[in-house]
Structure 1
């Protein structure tokens, strides 16, 4: 089994945090978004992952030189080969996948790296394909699928009237990666575009018309990492799931001086907490110092210094320094508010 991860977007909705860190490498409760994504996929497919191929953007669009090595390390941590491809120009979802054409063979999962999920189902690898879906209250904002006798019959993009409440979350299984590659090649060769781009939905429709039967994979939770507030909420949900699984996410070397941690929280290595209460639902990255502060429901990255703060629903980037009385902030890497 292979996993293909298109992640070439610049993450403009999550700025300033994505000005220096690609969105999928944002850390949620001690792990990057993309690492959590591929780990959860590996549990669902319940098979050995042979290769994980990542499609990133060029350095000029905010992808640092060490991005490839970080991604390869994530793949290797799952016992898989890591491959990295570059999408030089944003030409749509199908085009992004095609950038990894050298890795498109055999069974594969395609997962766009701006979402996390929680699921208990196990993938039926004998199906022609599967599409991860989640029931939503307002399907008009999403692409949805219609079902008949357990199979997907239609893909409908942002319906203006109710046709289904099963929203596509951006994760797909294809039994035959070569067939997927050939269908995308056909789009490109014949310049078949929607809204000026090569879209995966056209590929899905074509495969369905050729007789491929797609089944749904219904997830229990779908967590968005597109903007600041949803990302902070994703941190909260992830911490809750980690606590339910019995995982302790507080490092052994955390220094507490008149400080209190209200679980669930993630606290990284070499963190100092003085005259401070954190939690619930707080993640604090490695090598950070927090003094004279109260923090809840917040996501704080590595090497951060916080003093005299009362924070709630805050997101603070790497190497930032904050001293103040603001309560709901979004501070990017290397920013100082003192």
Structure 2
């Protein structure tokens, strides 16, 4: 089994956090989004994963590349790095890792997490994971026939055609066939709304007789913007409630109340505060005289005499004396 993770996007809807950190590396309940995605996919594959290929931007840096290799190796797989220099659509992003597309292949875009209670049926020709949503206009969607097979793929429909949104995870029994169809789009400059889209390749494969079936997840968690990511953090903490990895080493707690579930990293100092529920606090952070709930706080932050909820604070941020719903980037100071 091969896994392809396209993650070169700039994550504009997650700014200011993605100005310094690639969106898939933002932590949710103490783990990077992409690490959780890889762990979850490996779990539902039901067979050995040979290689995990990450498609990143050329400016992500050596440290990011090394961390991604470690994520792959933690799942017993080879990690490989490929680059997408220009954002030209989903099909183009996948083809940046064309050397890794072979045999049974999963493609998973790294801005989504999921909860699933099944093992993937790898004997199907193709599985497209979907979830029913209220507003499908910003997503690719599928239509089904009476037997539950996929009949149509529609990219970001302007009028309603289906409420089954493609969540960004795909299985192909024949990776080489997928690669040939993607290459056909590139060679013939076939674009949808100005970009090379995976859904066009899926449609071509379906027209040639490939049978695609939907894979239904229990819960789909989007990480596309601040509010969605904070909510995802909340849900993941609920999933992992009581697990050992939610508490780090050398936590110093002085007169503070922790309302579970929370993630608290290594060397965090808590003084005269109320933490939780649904707070994630990165390593080496200090919280004093504050109320903190339903928020993601990255490493080395300082929060003093503040009431913070539904917020994201970047690495090394400082907030003093305010009651707020906020999203601030690395090393930002907010003093009221």
The answer to whether the superposition gives a TM-score over 0.5 is yes
Aligned to 1:177: 175
1:247 is aligned to 2:243? yes
Deviation at 1:198, TM superposition (A): 1.0
1:131 is aligned to 2:162? no
Deviation at 1:293, TM superposition (A): 0.6
- TM-score using structure 1 length: 0.96
Whole-Å separation in 2 of the counterparts to 1:258 and 1:296: 17
Aligned to 1:200: 198
Aligned to 1:25: 25
After superposition, where does 1:193-272 map in structure 2 within 5 Å?
193-243=191-241, 246-248=242-244, 249-272=246-269
Question: What do you get for the CA RMSD once the two structures are aligned?
Answer: 1.2
Whole-Å separation in 1 of the counterparts to 2:21 and 2:87: 19
| Divergent runs of 4+, >4 A | none
168-177 vs 150-159, which moves further: 150-159
Aligned to 2:44: 44
Deviations 1:142-173 (A, max 9, x none): 32111221211111233355432211101100
Aligned to 2:152: 154
Deviations 1:169-226 (A, max 9, x none): 0110011111111111111111111122111011001111111111111011111111
Q: Secondary structure at the match of 1:159?
A: coil
Whole-Å separation in 2 of the counterparts to 1:178 and 1:189: 16
Deviations 1:90-118 (A, max 9, x none): 11110100000110101010001111111
Whole-Å separation in 2 of the counterparts to 1:131 and 1:198: 18
Deviation at 1:251, TM superposition (A): 2.1
CA contact 2:25–2:33 (8 Å) conserved in 1: yes
92-101 vs 116-125, which moves further: 116-125
CA contact 1:112–1:170 (8 Å) conserved in 2: yes
Deviation at 1:252, TM superposition (A): 4.3
Aligned to 1:2: 2
Aligned to 1:305: 302
Among 156, 162, 165, the alignment partner of 1:164 is 162
CA contact 1:262–1:279 (8 Å) conserved in 2: yes
- The alignment of Structure 1 onto Structure 2 pairs a total of residues equal to 333
Among 64, 67, 73, the alignment partner of 1:67 is 64
After superposition, where does 1:11-22 map in structure 2 within 5 Å?
11-22=11-22
Whole-Å separation in 2 of the counterparts to 1:202 and 1:168: 14
Among 270, 276, 281, the alignment partner of 1:273 is 270
Whole-Å separation in 2 of the counterparts to 1:19 and 1:65: 17
- TM-score using structure 2 length: 0.96
Whole-Å separation in 1 of the counterparts to 2:225 and 2:65: 24
CA contact 1:121–1:217 (8 Å) conserved in 2: no
What are the ranges of 5 or more consecutive residues in structure 2 without an aligned counterpart? none
1:35 is aligned to 2:40? no
Whole-Å separation in 2 of the counterparts to 1:296 and 1:240: 14
Deviation at 1:321, TM superposition (A): 1.4
CA contact 2:140–2:199 (8 Å) conserved in 1: no
Aligned to 1:186: 184
Aligned to 1:289: 286
Whole-Å separation in 2 of the counterparts to 1:164 and 1:197: 22
CA contact 2:256–2:273 (8 Å) conserved in 1: yes
What are the ranges of 5 or more consecutive residues in structure 1 without an aligned counterpart? none
Q: Secondary structure at the match of 1:66?
A: helix
CA contact 1:20–1:64 (8 Å) conserved in 2: no
